[in-house]
Structure 1
Amino acid sequence: MAGASLAATVSLQVYRLCPRRLMAHDFAAGRAHGGASAHQVANGGEHEDEVIPISTEELQDDDSDFERTALFNDGVSSCKPNAAGHANVRGWWWWLSWLVLLCVLLSSGFACRFLWQALFPMPASGAESDLETALTSLPRDGRRLTILISIDGFRNEYFDRKRSSSDRPLAPALHALARHGLRATRGMQPVFPSSTFPNHWALVTGLRPERSGIFSNVMYDPDTGDWFDKGTSLQGNQEHWWRGEPIWQTLRAQVSGARSAVYFWPGSEISNSQFSPPDYIPAHTYSSDVPYRTRVDQLVQWIGKADGNVSFASLYLNGVDHAGHEFGPFSAQVDDAIAEADQAIARLVKALSALKTIGPVNYIVVSDHGMTETSSARTLDLDEIFPDQKSVLVVDVSPICLLYPVQVSKQEAMQRISTYLHDNDGKEPTTGSRRSRELLENFQVFGSPAALPARFHVGDIDLWPPITILPALGWSVKYDKFKIGGRMDGNGSFGPEFADRAAKEVISGSHGYDNQETDMQALFIASGHSIRGQNKGSTSAAEGIRSVDVYCILSSSRTHSRQVDASFWLSKLSSSCPMTVPFRSRSNARRQCYVIVSC
């Protein structure tokens, strides 16, 4: 009612002040005094129409008719006489008054809607209500369980995405976990490069690539000729690549009889002299085609065994990363993949709440890296720099390019790249090359791993190739001759041992960039009995966390429920987590790194 009254008042003021109405009154006043209108006076009194004097009574009747008819008739589009014989006048001010009224009414409606939602929030759906019950119904006594869940390629920003035409989140299960625990609102920083294998191994070992041995999804050893392709050693020498102690091996050493169950975690199938696989893993090798339902149900079955004594479990979900690569981070396909992964997590939480053989559960939900949008228009084409495929050996281009010079020296290879970036010393660019300014601004070339920024922690990696091309966020390196498993022969040439894996000409999404980039930040949520949030029931912040910190959190949340002293944390930081010490003081270490774990 108040809005309508305001609109009416504004409309009336607009009407009273409009030039057309004032002109009409001036004209009427001129007639009342037997003279010309203001318009006629301004033109020297000349007018083709004769001015006819009228009486005061006629003026009052005329003005009243004018006001009544002008409010409802358009004098511009139609000038039809009213019952008294006067022309109706209606102009822009009439439409303006109604427009103001409409805007005020709409604003009042939206304000009332938001006020209603604030005072009377929409109740959770049945599925969300069941999930909340599952999170709060687990017993506090009994066999404690910690579950690590990885949603590959889940960019931190995905957490805040909403369903179309709705205020509900795409991932209600993740939001419920965060409400009952905490979340790194600015994301978790991955190790560099922000790729799948280096970060998944860092999550379960607490080691950066320079200590863990896994610095890329694809690696090559020029001394042995061995290739590492996403967890597979061509020569079967797994110990050659994998280093460190994964959390399932730590659990065996710390807790007698404790077991672990892992469904598809990079490195979980590896066995060497340092560690062996978890107690329960799938009988088959990794396949992205295995449905989430199958993975969740199998994991619950392992955990639910009465004599299984599973204390640590992990689950890997790959669909979000696949959709991001194929369609880009802002696609509807990514939204669908987010919802699917969230449903799998909800299924897991509800299934575990129904088990009678376990006690308190800690959930740690992470991703390995983020995702950014890429385009074929933002590429550096190695084929134009090295048209002869025997010149260099390209190890990886995803999106960082790692290469060995083969039939050319390192200096010559570096010079060719530099010349291309500078557009052939100012000459006309070759066909298909990008503008020199764009290339120079978005690509850096390094002649050794030690030349890369120290914060990347790759300077001591002996297998890091001698030449690195580092693209800026959203840019990538294209090389159509790229083969996985190419091996150099005695003549310095190499041939493919695997199917062609050429870099895509059009890439919608990618990762692997500088690990400080916002788009590369990963997801981190912790919820459960051993997780101490600032306020239960509302998301608490866990800012500054890195992927290398998760191992210590996993170890502590499983093996220590209460009263963990500073010496324990310092021993963990100095031995099991030697690469995770960013602190200057002993007291600072415990407070900043482990405040989220119940001590």
Structure 2
Amino acid sequence: MKFPFRPLWCVVAALGTGCAGLKPTTHPTPSATSAATHVSAAPRPAPLLLISIDAYRADYYDRGLSPTLGMLAKTGVHADSMQPSFPSLTFPNHYTIVTGLRPDHNGIVNNTMFDPKLGAFSLGNRKAVSNGLWWDEATPIWETADAHGLRTATMFWPGSGADIHGHHPDQWKPFDDSVTADQRVDQVLAWLDQPAARRPTFLTLYFDAVDHAGHRYGPHSTQVDDAIRDTDAALARLVRGLKQRHLYRRMNIIVLADHGMASVPLSHNVMMDKLIPLQDVHTVTMGIVAGFDPKPGHLHAFAAIEHTLQQPQQHMHCWDKSRIPARLDYGHNARVPQLVCLADVGWRITTTRYNATHQGRISVGDHGYDNADPRMQALFIAHGPDFREGIRFHAFPNVDVYPLMTHLLGIPARPNDGNYRDVEDMLKPVDR
């Protein structure tokens, strides 16, 4: 899902300051009572289209380059921002949005992971990404929708290409970054053109050009602006197609992002090989985060390395997983490495050798940092017959999207970390 030059071992997150105006995101550990009872009484819910614009930072909207989003916001709901879950990465947050579980609870704890039974997982490892065993610690909304008689279709949503609990969406496409934004839109419209018996009620659509441009050129580049314009043009094509099919006013549409983007100058490197003997640890990840596990027979050396790195460091913080700050809701899952080092916003954790061998392919924009940092905040706009019109909504955490969607579809929510009551005021009173 990322730009081809991007390192496959990249990013988790780094600590920073809180985001002004953002509600606290401390919700209970998943339980059957967490937003599980809020279901719509409507026997035939309006279709729901969930759209992700990868890395569309909340304040990108203020650049005035997205007239279609502006139209949806003016006649729908526009949140000040949506806070990603920690770590603010693509796969963890896309799976959080469709399960309501933070990465520490849904099992997708990073874009790059290691599991003793399953081996290595990374964005470019198609075999791992399509293996449902990596994803089966949670239940995505398309599985629940199908179980309750609603047909589903996903256009490239992370996780939808895996056989989770023996189940795929009714219709889905394996990820192919050569498929253009217009072609992705046309596929969604084609699914909606099917006879009623096959037509999906829940659909997803994924765009990644804004993310690619942000990584390669940085969030303040003209290339990001161009990608914002191009993606908005694809959304305009979608709206035209929905209007031609008389669906625009009958379909609920949620447009959001998984995370934001920050500038990372090429010179802002924490060289891990100059701090510890890397041959004494199993390196799980590098990038915005470094994650390490002990090597068999090296426990004493690992303990010494942990002691060293947990001392104050320049431009990063390191913890044993049991000591990661509670506000991040991270560190309990077995897939989280034993030692986690998080770069300060605007810095990366790397090695001398990696930098020397990847000249010209290192991202100058990145994410995965502290999920409360303003640069990590994501877009959220919603429009449709069940949403109120023309309101500005407060910032909220992305775990709340899941119970909102299950309510719109009239299906029971699985145990989750979200809180429907925090977002119900987006909806018209009759729909609560």
TM range (shorter): 0.7 to 0.9
Matched, 1:265 2:95: no
Mapping 1:418-567, distance limit 5 Å:
439-440=313-314, 442-447=315-320, 449-479=321-351, 506-532=362-388, 536=389, 538=390, 540-559=391-410
Q: 2:146 maps to what in 1?
A: 252
Q: Equivalent residue for 2:250?
A: 360
Is 1:292 paired with 2:181? yes
Task: Map 1:173-192; keep pairs closer than 5 Å.
Answer: 173-185=68-80, 187-192=81-86
Give the direction of change, closer, same or farther, for the CA distance of 1:359–1:261 in structure 2 (3 Å limit).
farther
Query: Residues of 2 paired with 1:175 and 1:357: CA distance?
Result: 19
SS at match of 1:404: strand
Q: Deviations over 1:317-348 (max 9, x none)?
A: 00000100000000000000000111111111
Correspondence 1:205-220 to 2 at 5 A: 205-220=99-114
Contact 1:145/1:359 (8 A) holds in 2: no
Q: Secondary structure at the match of 2:201?
A: strand
1:128 aligned residue: none
Supply the RMSD in Å over aligned alpha carbons.
Answer: 2.7
For residues 53-99 of structure 1, the C-alpha deviation after alignment (integer angstroms, 9 at most, x for no partner) is xxxxxxxxxxxxxxxxxxxxxxxxxxxxxxxxxxxxxxxxxxxxxxx
Aligned-residue identity in percent: 33
Q: Distance in 1 between matches of 2:279 and 2:360?
A: 21
Which amino acid in the other structure matches residue 258 of structure 2?
D
Encode CA deviations 1:400-445: one digit per residue, 9 max, x unaligned: 11112337422222345468x7xxxxxxxxxxxxxxxxx53x2111
Instruction: Map 1:37-116 onto structure 2 (within 5 A).
Output: none
TM superposition score normalised by structure 1? 0.60
| Runs of 5+ unmatched residues, structure 2 | 1-42
Provide the rounded CA distance (Å) in 2 between the counterparts of 1:505 and 1:304.
42
> Is residue 335 from structure 1 mapped to residue 225 from structure 2 by the alignment?
yes
Q: Is residue 309 of structure 1 aligned with residue 202 of structure 2?
A: no
Residues 216 and 365, structure 2, Cα contact 8 Å, conserved in 1: yes
- Structure 1 residues 352 and 501 mapped into 2: Cα distance closer, same or farther (>3 Å)? farther
1:210-255 Cα distance to aligned partner (Å, 9 max, x none):
221001000002x33611112745497531443211111121223x
Answer yes or no: is the 8 Å Cα contact 2:239–2:248 preserved in 1. no
Q: Taking structure 2 as the reference length, what is the TM-score of the superposition?
A: 0.82
Letter in 2 for 1:579: D
Task: Give distance in 2, aligned partners of 1:358 and 1:276.
Answer: 30
The answer to whether the Cα contact below 8 Å between 2:401 and 2:418 also exists between their aligned partners in 1 is no
Q: Helix, strand or coil for the counterpart of 2:334? A: coil
User: In the alignment, what sits opposite 1:378?
Assistant: 268
The SS at the match of 2:55 is coil
Query: Alignment partner of 1:393: what SS?
Result: strand
**1:338 is paired with a residue of what secondary structure?**
helix
Q: Which structure's residues are more often helix, by fraction?
A: 1
Partner of 1:101: none
Following TM superposition, by how much is the alpha carbon of 1:294 offset from its aligned partner in structure 2, in angstroms? 0.9
**Distance between the aligned counterparts of 2:417 and 2:233, measured in 1?**
35
Who is 1:159 aligned against?
61
Deviations 1:94-146 (Å, cap 9, x if unpaired)? xxxxxxxxxxxxxxxxxxxxxxxxxxxxxxxxxxxxxxxxxxxxxxx997211
Query: Greater RCO between the two (CA within 8 Å, min separation 6)?
Result: 2
1:390 counterpart SS class: helix
- Rounded to whole Å, the distance in 2 between the matches of 1:294 and 1:505 is 28
Aligned partner (choices 232, 238, 257) of residue 348 of structure 1: 238
The one-letter amino acid of 1:301's match is: A
Aligned equivalents of 2:70 and 2:53: distance in 1?
15
Distance in 2, matches of 1:266 and 1:147, equals 16
CA distance 1:181–1:457, shift in 2 (3 Å) = same
Contact kept? 1:147, 1:362, Cα under 8 Å: yes
Equivalent residue number for residue 149 of structure 1:
51
Structure 1 545/326 Cα, relative in aligned 2: closer, same or farther at 3 Å?
A: same
Partners in 1 of 2:357 and 2:53 — Cα distance? 24
Determine the C-alpha separation between the residues in 2 that align with 1:445 and 1:506: 23
Partner amino acid for 1:147? Answer: L
Contact kept in structure 1, 2:129 and 2:159, CA below 8 Å: no
Of 331-340 and 378-387, more deviation after overlay is shown by 378-387
- SS where residue 352 of structure 1 aligns? helix
Superposition map of 1:3-18 within 5 A: none
Cα shift readout 1:6-64 (whole Å, capped 9, x = no counterpart): xxxxxxxxxxxxxxxxxxxxxxxxxxxxxxxxxxxxxxxxxxxxxxxxxxxxxxxxxxx
How far, CA to CA, are the matches of 1:482 and 1:240 in structure 2? 28
One-letter identity of the residue aligned with 1:594: E
**Is 1:396 aligned to 2:285, yes or no?**
yes
For the residues of structure 1 that align with 2:243 and 2:382, how far apart are their CA atoms?
17
CA distance 1:358–1:514, change in 2 (3 Å): closer
Contact 1:380 1:476 survives alignment (8 Å): yes
Match of 2:212 among 279, 299, 322: 322
The DSSP-based 3-state class of the residue aligned with 2:171 is coil
Q: Distance in 2 between matches of 1:353 and 1:235?
A: 35
User: What amino acid sits opposite 2:318 in the alignment?
Assistant: V
In the alignment, is residue 224 of structure 1 matched against residue 117 of structure 2? Answer: yes
TM superposition shift of 1:482: 6.5
Give the aligned residue type for 1:525. I
